[in-house]
Structure 1
Amino acid sequence: MAKLFVICGHGAGDPGADGGGYTEAERVRALAARIKALGGSEVELGDTSRNWYRDGGISRLETTAPVVELHMDASGVPGAHGAHVIVKKGFEPDEYDRALADKLAAFMPGRAEKIVHHSELANVNRAARRGINYRLVENGFIDSEEDREKFNGHLDELARIYLEVFGITASSATSEPEAGASGSGSTGFEGGTYRCTVDTLNVRDEPGLSGSVVASYHKNQTVVLDSWYKVADGYVWGRYTGATSGKLRYVAVGRATGKPEADDYLVRVE
């Protein structure tokens, strides 16, 4: 039985907020995909092709699991940053709300209030009328370079915060290949936004040349890699989570020389 139901904000043609070349709808779906991938059957991921606000989906949702709706904020105000949790005005935050607010504030600080009450948000009200255990979370400001860097470069860490709060063990993490950590391995690799420097760069379903090609990137396209890496077949392999498939995908960043090189296939830009 699922311990957490995850809804992604915006989508179905609505990009939400934007900043730094990213959209809110795409980023929260990348986060949701990692929560699902790491949480397995204990996480139920709501249909990511929908706009749950526009189609009123919460009014018809049948679940006994606590619900989290993922968003990112935007303000246009220089220096605004940080994550917080939104609950229905008049409701007392429960143990999930408090734990999530505390951990997110430590991960992505900057908000004056970790928990905020609202009465005008449609899905907040819909969930309250249905008696659904619900909260909306702003995972930082997408127009904050500081928050984007933390979100993009530490996506799995952020996903694990949600799993820990709702009592879910990140079971799939133990089945991943042995790999280095961000910035600390012999390759000097770190997560973030990377730009493709070659005409075609294959995306594979395993980190190595034996993996099947499932997609490709082309020159000047960008991809956000998490902080995981592996050296295999003479290359440094990075990974990301497919926004549509929710599956881990792997790309060769460059030759395994022990440091970033000018002729790497992917060059970090952020």
Structure 2
Amino acid sequence: MANHIIIYGHGAGDPGAVGHGLTEASYYRDKLAPFIRKWAGKLKNNTLTVANEAENQFVETQKGKGIYSMRNFASITEMHLDAASGTAKDGHVIIAKGFAPDAADKRIRDVVKKHVGLRPNYPDGFSYRNDLLNLNVAASLGIGYRLVELGFITSAEDTQQITANMDALAKDLVQAITGEVIAGGTTTPETGGNSNNKGEIEMYLIHAIDTGNWYVSNGVQCRWIRSERMLKNYKNEFGKLNLRVDNMYSTELYKEFPKDKIL
């Protein structure tokens, strides 16, 4: 088992880049983070920890903490968004100059290519640098590290792509970082049904074994089903829906979903 950590850039009063109604810090913390937590929670053979979202890890590293406190992780993945004027778009992955991309770097590069596209000036999808604090500290400590620029927040096309299918994006990122394949379809808030297709939501049922309660979930939040007729509808007794069932104990349910996500 390997333990990995993901960092959301900026934060702690620093919004980072701004564009199209988003800030770099809030995109990751408020929009993508719930989906990252969802898929990280489904890992069986690895773990993916989210660095303290209330902190700016660049500032923490300047204080002698931040990256210095992450020595026990197998890898560090730091997430950012680019900003520029004009028509700049697409993403890339930054690794330390003098190093070759490892298997995880390449998997993450492929996720960027799939969901956003790669910048033409980085034909292999990588930028090699030695002028970034967190990158340099990680390299000095011998920790696998990459900084992901997941497109341009100033590009309407990029921002549409990274907000349209966040569940699939998050699943692909978690799998790429850890190298572990996770079972289950992906979702978006707009539509129903089980699917791996872009833009569709996978709803599923949760049966709490110890209490007998049933819940319907989209992977981000879940709702207690109080109506027997509604439960039968979800279980396809009326020929409308046929949702898969996850059986778990209440303790597992509360661990997977914070109280404010159980309706």
Query: TM-score by structure 1 length?
Result: 0.64
On the 8 A contact 1:39/1:171 being kept in 2, the answer is no
C-alpha contact (below 8 Å) 1:73/1:141 kept by paired residues:
yes
Flag as ranges the 4+ runs of structure 1 deviating above 4 A. Answer: 171-174, 177-185, 207-210, 245-251
Q: Could you tell me how far apart the structure 2 residues matched to 1:160 and 1:16 are?
A: 24
1:116-161 Cα offsets, whole Å, 9 max, x none, are: 0111111110111111111000111111111111111111111122
Distance of 2:104 and 2:162 partners within structure 1: 21
Q: Structure 1 stretches of 5 or more lacking a match?
A: 186-203, 211-229, 231-244, 252-270
| Corresponding residue of 1:43 | 48
Q: Does 1:69 align with 2:78?
A: yes
Match of 1:86? 94
**Map of 1:206 onto structure 2:** 222
- TM-score (normalised: structure 2): 0.66
- Does the residue aligned with 1:53 lie in a helix, a strand or coil? helix
1:52 aligned residue: 57
Of 103-112 and 53-62, deviating more is 103-112
1:168 corresponds in structure 2 to: 180
The letter for the 2-side match of 1:10 is: H
- Pairing of 1:1-270 with structure 2 (within 5 A): 1-29=1-29, 30-40=31-41, 42-56=47-61, 57-77=66-86, 79-112=87-120, 113=122, 114-165=125-176, 166-170=178-182, 178=193, 205-207=221-223
Q: Output the CA distance in 1 between the equivalents of 2:199 and 2:81.
A: 26
The structure with more helix, counted as a fraction of residues:
2
Evaluate the alpha carbon distance shift between residue 110 and residue 135 of structure 1 in structure 2; reply closer, same or farther with a 3 A threshold: closer
- Relative to structure 1, the CA distance from residue 65 to residue 172 in structure 2 (aligned partners, 3 Å threshold; closer, same or farther) is farther
Give CA-to-partner distance per residue, 1:175-211, whole Å, 9 cap, x none: xx955766679xxxxxxxxxxxxxxxxxx9535786x
CA distance in 2, matches of 1:135, 1:91: 11
- Code of the aligned partner of 2:92: H
How much has 1:55 moved relative to structure 2?
A: 1.4
The percent of aligned pairs where both chains have the same amino acid is 34
Give the AA of the match of 2:169.
L
Structure 1's 43 and 146: CA in aligned 2 closer, same or farther, altered over 3 A? Answer: same
**Letter paired with 2:166:** L
More strand by share: 1
Which ranges of structure 2 fall in alignment gaps of 5 or more residues? 187-191, 202-219, 227-233, 235-255
Which deviates more, 8-17 or 59-68?
59-68
Contact 1:81 1:140 in 2 (8 A): yes
> How many equivalent pairs are there?
200
1:17–1:142 contact (8 Å) kept in structure 2: yes
Aligned partner of residue 34 in structure 2, secondary structure: helix
- Partner residue of 2:244? none
